[in-house]
Amino acid sequence: MAAADVVLCAASTSLYHTTAKAAAQRAGARGVFNAPYRADAWRNGAMTADFFEIRRRAERLAELWRRTREVRITSPAGTDLRATVTGREPMAWLTGICRNAGEVSAFPGGEVSLPPVEGTSEGIVVWERVASDLGALEEPVRITVRGGRAVAIEGGPSALRLRAIVDSVVDADNIGEIGIGLNPAARIGDEITEAKKAFGTVHVALGDSANEYGGLVECDVHLDGLVMEPTIEFDGVAVVVAGRHVYDLAP
């Protein structure tokens, strides 16, 4: 991949958080990863969105995020997470539009995200509906976070499977990403790749935050979990309220 100018990676397993992708990005390749590998996903759902409007929203949200020291996320299911993001660059190009060398996006596009500063995340994250490697969740998964690490995982069979992964992979307990979904056409089903792009959601990931992603923790897994109807505050100012985006009104 590092020898290519443009990359289109359609695979059944994510290659986004890999050293191969990072090497290609550093070499100046641009392109899309995690592209839909099922025919239906190319024709319906998130792929039908206006990606230029998504990019506009992403750039506006990133503008606000760059000025932010602390993010707080709450949800009706019980999420209440705080994290420091000072100095972390929000990725506004994760929208499926990659015009410049080194810009890569998960596809279908539709999020802006960043890795919080290591060791600063504190509180509770409740994953709902769907998560990486777990698929559709039998019931919500409650993750207690201390010092940037998942210290307890509760919530039925899905939680047991997640705990087994975290216990067996070095640094899989790291809070590696906060991502805000921006795609109004994205469907929430049993596939996290599309669900985490859904407008009005946020996803919080465990594991890898490096490989040109902006964080410092290299890990063999990157596990996204969905948070529904979130309220998101940047330094105490709400930018999303119960899944409703209000940042266009922000100064």
Per-residue pLDDT at 35 exceeds 80:
no
Residue 17 banded pLDDT, cuts 50, 70, 90 = low
In a domain, 82, yes or no: yes
Residue 239 is predicted with a pLDDT of: 95
Average pLDDT, the chain: 90
In a domain, 72, yes or no: yes
46 vs 63: CA distance, rounded Å: 24
What integer is the mean pLDDT of 191-206? 95
116-63-128 Cα angle (round to 5)? 45
pTM here is 0.88
In a domain, 191, yes or no: yes
Instruction: Tell me the two tokens of residue 92.
Output: 């506004």
In a domain, 186, yes or no: yes
Q: Residues 162, 116: contact at Cβ < 8 Å?
A: no
Q: Residues 124, 155: contact at Cβ < 8 Å?
A: no
In a domain, 207, yes or no: yes
Residue pLDDT, tens place only, 48-103: 999 999 999 999 999 999 999 999 999 999 999 999 999 999 987 678 788 888 88
In a domain, 55, yes or no: yes
In a domain, 1, yes or no: no
In a domain, 137, yes or no: yes
Q: Residues 125, 227: contact at Cβ < 8 Å?
A: yes
Picking from 202, 174, 196, 201, the residue whose alpha carbon sits closest to that of residue 117 is 174
Helix (H) or strand (E) holding 58: helix 51-66
Domain extent for 194: 6-249
Residue 31 is predicted with a pLDDT of: 81
Residue 247 is predicted with a pLDDT of: 80
Number of structural domains found in the chain? 1
